[in-house]
Homo-oligomer: A and B are copies of this chain.
Amino acid sequence: MPTFPQLALPSRRVTSTDVAREAGVSQSAVSRAFTPGAHISAPTRRRVLEAAQRLGYQPNAIARSLVTQRSGIVALIVGDLHNPFYPQALSQFAQELEEQGKRALLIIHDARQDVQETLNAARSYQIEAAIVFPTRLNAAPPSLGDVSRGGVPVLLFNRHLPGHNLLSVACDNFAGGRLAAQVLLDSGAKRLAFIGGDPQTSTHQDRLAGFTERLSEAGLSPIAAPAGNFQYDWGVQATLDMHAAGEWPDAIFGANDIVAIGVLDALRHLGRRVPEEVSVIGFDDIQESARLSYRLTTIRQPLEQMIADALQVISDPQPASGPRLHPGELIWRETVRRTL
């Protein structure tokens, strides 16, 4: 086995000065060797690059950014990652950014903090843009606006603030709520319930509003619409609570997939058959919805398309006139009764 250098740690970084000394050239020649289009002879450039490789030197993207004013860093500001939709989105965002030669600065936003503070902290890293994933923004919209003065585009992903023209790319949650109602009505459901997420979020509000509107067109209204949060445990608890209260819907719309999966587990626990006794539909199409034990019928968010759109918007930001909406897609699986 070849000897393998310890991954430990000289007390300082390799600098362009070290490379210049190693290559026997001036420091400015090192700088030119790493600047596209700069004037430098081919042999000198080769000598510099070889010296740089021997020493493990990398030109400094951040120092370069101070000149070009383009750091290549995009902040992704997320709340908690309990809802599997977000790790999936995050992973795809980071990958897409990398394909554009950029990097994701991951920032966990504590819901107890002011979003403004989180954004300010992010901006101190010379970010090109910030993408804000659903957190409870409604609590503090006025301060968010201050960020615009610094000139860094901030885009809300899958979220909008009604009444504020913030950059926003979202699934059309209202239309998705209507679609969920339509599918359940078509299956013959008469007693429909909505198990909501965090009531302070636009995703919850829009899905519920679309759902309710479509039901009212059929002369119905939800028999129950408890709100809670977007987590598994809440889906379980809300279902058990409805059972305890003697409310028996024949169809349940879960505010998102992970809530709907909690609903399915609780129904199984209660011995209720899906979809024979009760239909269930979710929203998102997270990976586990396709699992053998769930096979959840759901509204898929067109994540790939939404991410591409978001990256396009921040790369060439224009004044927003409301959120850019992408329609959800119905994914048929096995939790909604089919009427033939």
Contact = CB atoms under 8 A, between A and B. Distances in A.
Given A120-B58, A141-B4, A167-B8, A266 B292 contact: yes
A185 interface: no
Contacts of A61: 124-126
Contact of A7 (B84, B126, B147): B147
Interface stretch (A38-46, A158-166, A330-338): A158-166
B320 A293 contact: no
A26 interface: no
Interface string A6-49: 11111111100000000000000000000000000000000000
Contacts of A95: 108, 110
Contact of A91 (B80, B124, B151): B80
A121 to B, nearest CB: 8
Contact of A145 (B7, B71, B124, B147): B7
A9 B268 CA distance: 51
B81 A8 contact: no
Interface in A36-95: 54-63, 65-66, 69, 71, 73, 76, 78, 80-82, 84, 86-88, 90-91, 94-95
B11 A56 contact: no
A226 interface: no
A241 interface: no
A105 interface: yes
B142 A4 contact: yes
A271 interface: no
Given A7-B145, A103-B107, A145-B4, A13 B90 contact: no
A230 B14 CA distance: 38
B319 A166 contact: no
Interface residues of A, number: 89
Contacts of A320: 6-8
A318 interface: yes
B5 A149 contact: yes
What is the oligomeric copy number? 2
A293 B294 CA distance: 10
A50 to B, nearest CB: 13
A106 B102 CA distance: 11
Contacts of A73: 105, 125
A305 interface: no
Given A87-B81, A124-B59, A291-B265, A165 B13 contact: no
A219 interface: no
Nearest to A94: B108
Nearest to A155: B7
Nearest to A13: B151
28 contacts: A4-B142, A6-B165, A7-B144, A8-B148, A8-B317, A8-B319, A10-B149, A10-B151, A12-B69, A13-B152, A14-B151, A55-B149, A55-B150, A56-B146, A56-B150, A56-B151, A61-B125, A62-B62, A62-B124, A62-B125, A62-B126, A73-B125, A76-B106, A81-B88, A91-B108, A94-B106, A105-B105, A288-B288
Given A58-B120, A95-B110, 11 more contacts: A1-B163, A7-B144, A8-B317, A8-B318, A13-B152, A14-B149, A57-B150, A60-B124, A78-B91, A90-B106, A269-B293
